[in-house]
Chain A
Amino acid sequence: MTHTQKRVLINKIVMALSVLSTLIGMGFLLWILSILVINGIDAINWNIFIYEGAPPGYEESGLKHALIGQLLLISVSTIIGVPLGILAGTYLSEYGGVKSKLANIIRDISDIMMSAPSIVIGSFVYAVIVAPMGNFSGWAGIAALSIIMVPIILRTTDDMLQLVPSTLREAAFALGAPKYKVILQVVLRGAKTGILTGVLLGVARVSGETAPLLFTSFNDNFLNTDLSEPIASLTVTMFNYATSPYEDWQKLGWAAAFILSMFILTLNILGRVILAPKKKK
């Protein structure tokens, strides 16, 4: 075999391996997606939205408690986490800049926090909120989710604000605007689609968190909207139902998995659609 033939052959082998690994990877992922859709659609019916948790065997059992609990947990953590993240990110980009030591330390720590195991954040919140208060509570779950959300929003805000051309800032300064007005009315406004994308992705990420809720917001089989009490979430409910030996509970678990995945995928797709026209310019 000539040298060239050998090279062509090796090339072909590597190409085949690469295509094969894509097929394997995509195969697994399609498998997961299809069982999610099949089991999910099979398990979804109106009862899920009407009824709360019930003992296994009952016709009238649903996920209303978990759906409402999840929405409550996510929306309150968003209300807390998003402004904190945006304001901190604003500081990094507008006052700190790329050369400030402090800003760079905060960036690095946020990067580490972003990848910190979420169960560790759960145990931290357990120690500072659940143990002193003496019971699991929605607020503890919200604290854990907010701690996870802030670094994500902070880093995207920081990145997005740095993309705003400095000529825009200069133009606003030249008109005599004070810095806070320049930031609020020019810089943040200029980066609003980027920040919105960051917010959507942050909310999506937090919505799927289970581990930090296991021993903060805990669970409740009935509808509860009092945040100082344990509160159900889709993720923890899904975990409990899926690991139970009862078939109808497992079915509810799949329904929860399907609803949650669709919610998260929608947020992700929305984030992309919003950002897409900007990329093309």
Chain B
Amino acid sequence: MNKILDRFFQLSTLSIALFTLLIAGAIFGVLFQEAKPAIDAFGFEFITNSKWAPNLEKFGAWPAIIGSILSTSLAMFLAVPVAIGVAIFLSEIAPEKLKNPVGVSIELLAAIPSVIYGMWGLFYFVPIIRDTFGGLGIGLLTAGIVLAVMILPFMAAVTRDAMNTTPDILKESAYALGGTKWDVIKDIVIPYAKAGIIGAAILALGRAIGETMAVTFVMGNVHKIPSLITDPTTSIPVALANEFAEADEDLYFSSLFYLALILFLMSSAIIAFAKFAFLKRGRKAK
């Protein structure tokens, strides 16, 4: 009796575990199948074609892809230095009394839903950009900054965790040799935690590129490559969020699925790269 129950329990947990694999496979399969008409109609030219005109049934993903790449690059450019600065502060400089409260509040901020960052961007940041740089205030620059603020807490927390893994004894040895704090950080902590720091940045990149709500409010969803940094543009998730519920033609739908497929592949590749190249989380095979 116990044997049967044992077998039953093992098989049921196994099938559920396999089910998660199945879902991941199904996401890819279904997106591909739904995108098939657009793939047949436009092929790979879909990616490099910059005309997105639903009324003419012409679809090209180039502006959305460029918009995704530009907004995430801008966000990374702004957020990476600040995140590393915060991580250095939390792991090496902050007095013990500050470490915990600041660290915990940063972690809690990472949990605030991105839609709220988007709302903040729309109501408080857009006017500032509009007044300082002119234009609508809605566009690439605003999207990049809102995205940077959104990924900052996550990246700072993960980078700090990576830096905290540096053994104290290594740092103490360097201090004993007369190193300043910066010497210790640049010669001991950063080299030791390098893989973790790069991994954190790439994970943040993966988040930023798929982020929808923080940027949907402030990007404008205009399928045009921006000529000015303050111009409205679009990105793949923004286009999906704005147009999915409106699409009426089959080819329009299929093109949106094609966009979703491209986004899914891009983000999976980024995450997989971060995991395998930098964040071998130690399979704990101690």
Which residues in A have some Cβ–Cβ distance to B below 8 Å? 7-8, 10-11, 14-15, 17-22, 24-26, 28-29, 31-33, 35-36, 84, 87-88, 90-92, 94-96, 98-99, 103-106, 108-113, 115-124, 126-128, 147, 150-151, 154, 162, 178-181, 183-184, 204-205, 207-211, 214-215, 218, 235, 238-239, 242-243, 250, 253-254, 257, 260-261, 264-265, 268-269, 272
The CB with the most chain B CB atoms within 10 A, among A28, A104, A147, A181, is that of: A28
Is the beta-carbon distance between A127 and B30 smaller than 8 angstroms? yes
Q: Which residue of B lies closest to A124 (CB)?
A: B27
A210 to B211, CA, bound (A): 11
Q: Does B97 contact A (CB under 8 A)?
A: no
Q: Does B113 contact A (CB under 8 A)?
A: yes
Interface size class on chain B is 35 or more
Q: Given A35-B120, A180-B10, A211-B237: A88 and B17 within 8 A (CB)? A: yes
Is the beta-carbon distance between A22 and B89 smaller than 8 angstroms? yes
Report A-chain residues with C-beta under 8 Å of the C-beta of B12: 87
Choose from A19, A112, A179, A253 the contact partner of B24 (Cβ within 8 Å): A112
A-B contacts, CB under 8 A, total: 271
Q: Given A98-B285, A119-B210, A127-B30: A112 and B272 within 8 A (CB)? A: yes
Q: Given A88-B19, A117-B210, A210-B213: A272 and B104 within 8 A (CB)? A: yes
A91 to B13, CA, bound (A): 5
A11 to B284, CA, bound (A): 37
Report B-chain residues with C-beta under 8 Å of the C-beta of A28: 149, 152
Choose from B8, B21, B31 the contact partner of A106 (Cβ within 8 Å): B21
Which residues in B have some Cβ–Cβ distance to A below 8 Å? 2-3, 5-6, 8-10, 12-14, 16-21, 23-24, 26-27, 30-31, 33-34, 81-86, 88-90, 93-94, 102, 104-109, 111-120, 122-124, 149, 152-153, 156, 180-183, 185, 203, 206-207, 209-213, 216-217, 237, 240-241, 244-245, 256-257, 260, 263-264, 267-268, 271-272, 275, 283-285
Q: Given A126-B244, A127-B257, A209-B113: A115 and B267 within 8 A (CB)? A: yes
Distance to closest chain A CB from B259 (angstroms): 9
Choose from A24, A87, A162, A214 the contact partner of B13 (Cβ within 8 Å): A87
Contacts beyond the supplied A124-B26, A268-B107: 17 A-B pairs with Cβ under 8 Å: A7-B183, A11-B182, A15-B181, A18-B89, A21-B89, A22-B89, A28-B149, A33-B109, A84-B16, A106-B17, A123-B260, A178-B5, A180-B5, A210-B115, A210-B213, A214-B245, A265-B112
8 closest A-B pairs by CB: A117-B210, A208-B113, A21-B85, A91-B13, A180-B9, A11-B180, A211-B212, A178-B2
Report B-chain residues with C-beta under 8 Å of the C-beta of A103: 17
Is the beta-carbon distance between B210 and A18 smaller than 8 angstroms? no
Distance to closest chain B CB from A266 (angstroms): 10
Is the beta-carbon distance between B182 and A22 smaller than 8 angstroms? no
Choose from A122, A215, A257 the contact partner of B119 (Cβ within 8 Å): A257
Report A-chain residues with C-beta under 8 Å of the C-beta of B237: 117, 119, 211
Is the beta-carbon distance between A112 and B268 smaller than 8 angstroms? yes
Is the beta-carbon distance between B86 and A15 smaller than 8 angstroms? no
Q: Which residue of B lies closest to A123 (CB)?
A: B260
Q: Given A15-B181, A178-B2, A264-B113: A121 and B27 within 8 A (CB)? A: yes
Report B-chain residues with C-beta under 8 Å of the C-beta of A105: 21
Report B-chain residues with C-beta under 8 Å of the C-beta of A104: 283
Report A-chain residues with C-beta under 8 Å of the C-beta of B275: 108, 111-112
Q: Given A11-B180, A91-B13, A91-B14: A235 and B212 within 8 A (CB)? A: no
Pairs A–B under 8 Å by Cβ, sample size 7:
A20-B85, A31-B124, A106-B18, A112-B271, A117-B263, A147-B23, A260-B113
Is the beta-carbon distance between A91 and B115 smaller than 8 angstroms? no
Q: Which residue of A lies closest to B88 (CB)?
A: A18
Report B-chain residues with C-beta under 8 Å of the C-beta of A91: 10, 13-14, 16-17
Report A-chain residues with C-beta under 8 Å of the C-beta of B86: 18, 21-22, 25-26
Q: Given A25-B86, A32-B112, A239-B213: A123 and B268 within 8 A (CB)? A: no
Report B-chain residues with C-beta under 8 Å of the C-beta of A112: 24, 268, 271-272, 275
Is the beta-carbon distance between B180 and A7 smaller than 8 angstroms? yes
Report B-chain residues with C-beta under 8 Å of the C-beta of A11: 180-183
A21 to B269, CA, bound (A): 30
Is the beta-carbon distance between A115 and B271 smaller than 8 angstroms? yes
Is the beta-carbon distance between A214 and B241 smaller than 8 angstroms? yes
Is the beta-carbon distance between A24 and B284 smaller than 8 angstroms? no
Is the beta-carbon distance between A15 and B182 smaller than 8 angstroms? yes
Is the beta-carbon distance between A92 and B17 smaller than 8 angstroms? yes
A126 to B31, CA, bound (A): 10
Report A-chain residues with C-beta under 8 Å of the C-beta of B19: 84, 88
Distance to closest chain B CB from A120 (angstroms): 5
Report A-chain residues with C-beta under 8 Å of the C-beta of B27: 116, 120-121, 124
A120 to B267, CA, bound (A): 10
Choose from B9, B16, B85, B267 the contact partner of A22 (Cβ within 8 Å): B85
